[in-house]
Structure 1
């Protein structure tokens, strides 16, 4: 369990170091996840080394959304005042993501079939 935590937190720390050193405008947790994926794909890390902790974190993922949900309650007045722009932005961005994802999938599928 200590090795699993060390590997996961090490990738997170490495992502934090990369963001600090380069100024990349991405969250360090995303960089850390990408590094973990890269290390697993390259075979530098074995899945068994992180599987237990990863399974635990995924199984308890809902608990990680409780603090942001509670913090959201503090902004109900802002949400109520800006409900229309929030709704429009949500709907438009969802449609854009679906369309772009579909187009990219079709493009990659055509290239793969060639």
Structure 2
């Protein structure tokens, strides 16, 4: 029961960062989505140690565990539009796979270069 309450409070805290980010975006009229601003604020607080990871770890883990469920309706919704899957569907699949591979390559290449630079220092 205590863990459930902890998860609920932590998810509420994560939602508070979302709300603060959207409030900042509305207040300043920035072209960046408020959810991104909230994530940046959360990252800054975590990196500086102002907000300990233990204050959000269970809530974030809970949300990440159920994240794939949010993609199921989108996938089912695409099935209702067969035109998307005929001509442009193949192109979209190829572009998605290519983009994924390029992202993985760039991340691996950058990690390897940074790792070598750290070893040399």
1:23 aligns with 31
Question: In the alignment, which of 60, 64, 76 is matched to residue 66 of structure 2?
Answer: 60
Mapped partners of 1:82, 1:12: distance in 2: 35
CA contact 2:18–2:39 (8 Å) conserved in 1? yes
For 2:97 and 2:55, the matched residues in 1 are separated by 40
TM-score of the pair, normalised by structure 1: 0.74
Aligned length: 112
Q: Which runs of 5+ in 1 are unaligned?
A: none
C-alpha contact 1:3 1:49 (8 A) present in aligned 2:
no
What CA distance in whole angstroms lies between the structure 2 residues aligned with 1:55 and 1:84?
34
Offset, 1:18: 4.1
CA contact 2:78–2:84 (8 Å) conserved in 1 = no
Pick from 81, 84, 88 the counterpart of residue 90 of structure 2: 84
CA distance in 2, matches of 1:72, 1:31: 30
- The 1:103/1:5 distance shift into structure 2, 3 A limit, reads closer
- Equivalents in 1 of 2:100, 2:110: separation in Å? 15
The CA distance in 2 between the partners of 1:91 and 1:55, in whole Å, is 27
Q: TM-score, normalised by structure 2?
A: 0.71
Aligned-residue RMSD, C-alpha: 2.4
- Equivalence for 2:51: 45
